[in-house]
Amino acid sequence: MSSSSFIQDSCIEFFKKEDIQRYIKDCMSPLVGIIYNEIYPYIWFICMYNVFLIFLTLANFILIIWIRNLLKSGKKLAENNV
């Protein structure tokens, strides 16, 4: 058995212990909360930006359909006038 495999196995066994998992979770919880509170406004900004882009894309799609229908009806009017 190689030394790196032994170290890897011992680390896995160490982190499988319930009390170690609880201790790490308790230590990391405040850090995760601080990070979440710092990026919270940016998450909202990204969400609002995505909603804005969806509405902008929908508006472009509606305008394209509207222009296409105008061009079709314009061609029919031009054909009737000739």
Which pLDDT score is estimated for 66? 93
Which pLDDT score is estimated for 71? 87
Count of the separate structural domains present in the chain: 1
Q: What is the DSSP string of the chain?
A: --HHHHHHHHHHHHHHSHHHHHHHHHHHHHHHHHHHHHHHHHHHHHHHHHHHHHHHHHHHHHHHHHHHHHHHHHHHHHHHH-
Distance of CA 49 to the CA centre of its chain: 11
| Domain membership of residue 58 as a residue range | 3-81
pTM beyond 0.95, yes or no: no
Q: pLDDT (tens digit, 0 to 9) for every residue of the chain, 82 residues total?
A: 577 788 999 999 999 999 999 999 999 999 999 999 999 999 999 999 999 999 999 999 999 999 998 888 877 655 666 5
